[in-house]
Amino acid sequence: MKIANYVDTQPTEEVPGVFKREVITAADGAPNFCMRVFEVKTGSSTPNHSHPWEHEVFILAGQGVVTGKEGESPIAKGSVVFVAPDEQHCFRNTGGEVLRFICLIPLQE
């Protein structure tokens, strides 16, 4: 079992204004999934991209929009998002505070 505070994991800046913490990984003994915490500064966004695996996302703080095949949809604290495999997607902070979310993905080989 691992119990930790996510802020104790060093963030990496993925693109300007977008920080990622990999808080549970294979190094922790997780055989199937990776848990990441993202923080997106006001006005910043993740790149518009796709990949062959799904995402499960839970919005912890802030507000913004997620762009997918159906266009833009608003997201805010408490929102959950499922991104299907190979679906183009992007998370953008449109609010006045950090957009923070948990993102679960399958472990990559």
What does 79-109 look like in DSSP terms, one character per residue? -EEEE-TT--BEEEE-SSS-EEEEEEEEPP-
Q: Which residue has the tokens 């997201």?
A: 75
Within a domain: residue 42? yes
Within a domain: residue 87? yes
pTM of the model: 0.94
Over the chain, what is the mean pLDDT? 96
Residues 6+ apart with CB under 8 A from 53: 85, 105, 106, 108
Residues 6+ apart with CB under 8 A from 71: none
Within a domain: residue 3? no
Using the predicted structure, report yes or no on whether residue 69 has a pLDDT greater than 90: no
What CATH number is associated with residue 59?
2.60.120.10
d(CA 50, CA 68): 10
Q: 68 by DSSP, 3-state: which?
A: strand
Token pair for residue 75? 């997201």
Residues spanned by the domain of 73: 16-106
The predicted pLDDT at position 109 comes to 59
Using the predicted structure, report yes or no on whether residue 6 has a pLDDT greater than 80: yes
Closest of 9, 6, 1 to residue 102, by C-alpha: 6
